[in-house]
Amino acid sequence: MTGTVIDVDTDVYTTAGTELSAAAGAFWKAIDGKYEALSQCGSMTGTYDEAVKWATSYDQRTEETLRTSALLAQAANGYALLLVEMGYNHLLADHESTMGNSAPLPPKPTLPLTAVTECRIPLPSAGGPGEGLIDGGIELVQQVGVPIPDGDTGKLENARDAWNGMAADAAVAGFAAELDRIAGLFQTVTTVEGVFIDEDLRKLSAAAGECVGMMGDLGRSCGDHRDGLADMRTKMADELRQLAIDIAEDIAMDAAITIGLSLVTFGTGGAAFVVGRIAQKVAKYAPKIKHLVDAFKTAKNLDKGIGTLHDVAKHKNPLETIKSLEPKRAPTTPNKSKPDLTDNDEMAINSYSGMGFKDLNEVLRNPHVDPTPAQQQRIDALNNALDKLPNHEGKVVRHTNLPPEVLEKYQPGHTVTEGAFTSTSRNPKGATELWPQASDVEMQIVSKTGKDVQPWSKSPEEQEILFKSGTEFNVLDRWVDPVTGRTVIRMVER
């Protein structure tokens, strides 16, 4: 027996997958750990129009940031599973490429745990007591003529600290750099999927940077809002103290000015007075209070919402695409036990794996020709046999040659229906060493229902995974490999 030859450092895949999953889990744990703090900040902005507009923007940005962060953690963890499975597939391919190898199969690797179980969204931020100034009956609020801001500086401060703490947490702030580091592990890996692994990890890194930036903007905006309210109320209290002094010239009054979290209270100490005697003095101060309110609203541009240059929503589609690559279960091992196939089932598979594929696929790909009765019988027999086999889930590869008009169908975002049977290989390097060199198209497919037909194939060394006729695939990406000149198409079975 010849020893198994491994020309790929599969430990890179396992190490990268394990470290990626750990980083994704720590990233989300740090974010979700701030939920309780944020959940206590509902009804923090006040009830006036500008505050409601700011709250609408804040709530939208908050939900976008948390949901995108959760999706990022899910996509990264799913990709960790994919990396582990890729490494295991390389081990299996090298194990089975040695004819007569009787050594035990490589043990399955330990799979990373799930990173995200739930994405919790805080309560709406709009709300408050309804009035930001209690005037003790002197009708100052009425004369001011505009709503006095009633936002809660305590809750805004807590929200600021929660967002800033989230963004500064090492597991969050360092996630993008960790993704870049893990991508760097594949610099010396020369497998066919090495290019898109680096690309995918860089996409995850870009999304991580955007999420952290948005967290910082949310913290800054909450802080600015809080500081503006506090400054306005301090100045308002100064004006009210002066008003109390002026009123005291006519009426004995022990005024108490209190700055609360959501309002300012002007207490008259139970003094009895005739409103008319102080109306002129109140009227003198009303414009000053209104000016403070207007200046606060203008300076903070609350009706413009959260100011930011970050756009986390633009990363949703790339993250969804990467997340769709996640294997649905443990790495697939070769099917050593034969299912309960009839002689006709085995004959259908064996015939197809020889030259029988040629006429069947030609007629299935030709929309202008119907299969002959004999061909249809063989098509039905093969599909029926495949139905009896267990699904193979994971990445497979197909090398082929396609005319330009057919190649044109494979565009990112499109769904392609393969009318014919689709032959692929578990071997990441392709069915044979010759196929990649003779092919102008390489398809990298995530299988969900492909069938391992190796035990019944005329060419078991090809490690064939066969898809039934009429299988649909979602095209994720497409590019030209600058080294080989081949068009590379990434797809996931629908």
**pLDDT the model gives residue 139:** 84
Both tokens of 179, joined, read 């993704």
pLDDT, mean of each 10-residue run, the chain (494 residues): 49 92 96 95 95 96 96 95 86 65 72 79 93 86 92 97 98 98 87 79 97 97 96 94 84 73 76 62 92 93 90 93 77 59 92 91 93 94 94 88 94 94 89 75 91 91 94 92 87 89
DSSP for 364-426 reads: HH-TT-PPPHHHHHHHHHHHHHHHTSPEEEEEEEEEE---HHHHTT--TT-EEEE-S-EEEES
d(CA 65, CA 79): 21
**pLDDT the model gives residue 335:** 52
What totals of helices (H) and strands (E) does the chain contain, helices first? 15, 10
Both tokens of 414, joined, read 């499109």
**pLDDT the model gives residue 1:** 30
d(CA 419, CA 399): 17
Q: What residues pair up with 474 in beta bridges, in sequence order?
A: 415, 492
DSSP for 333-365 reads: ----S--S--HHHHHHHHHIIIIIHHHHHHHHH
d(CA 76, CA 82): 10
b/e per residue, 386-402, with b = 16+ CB within 10 A? Answer: beebebbbbbbbbbbeb
Cα–Cα–Cα angle for 120, 111, 84, rounded to 5 degrees: 110
List domains and CATH numbers for the chain.
10-128+151-228 (no CATH), 343-493 (3.90.176.10)
**pLDDT the model gives residue 388:** 94
**pLDDT the model gives residue 277:** 66
Alpha carbon of residue 65 to chain centroid: 10
Q: Is 338 exposed, middle or buried (0-12, 13-18, 19+ CB in 10 A)?
A: exposed
d(CA 50, CA 203): 37
**H or E element that contains 432:** none
Residues 353-393 pLDDT 10s: 988 899 999 999 999 999 999 999 999 999 999 999 998 88
Contact (CB, 8 A) for 398 and 422: yes
Contact (CB, 8 A) for 95 and 4: yes
d(CA 162, CA 218): 10
Both tokens of 215, joined, read 């967290």
Contact (CB, 8 A) for 350 and 458: yes
d(CA 114, CA 307): 34
d(CA 65, CA 211): 6
Q: In this structure, what DSSP letter does residue 389 have?
A: S
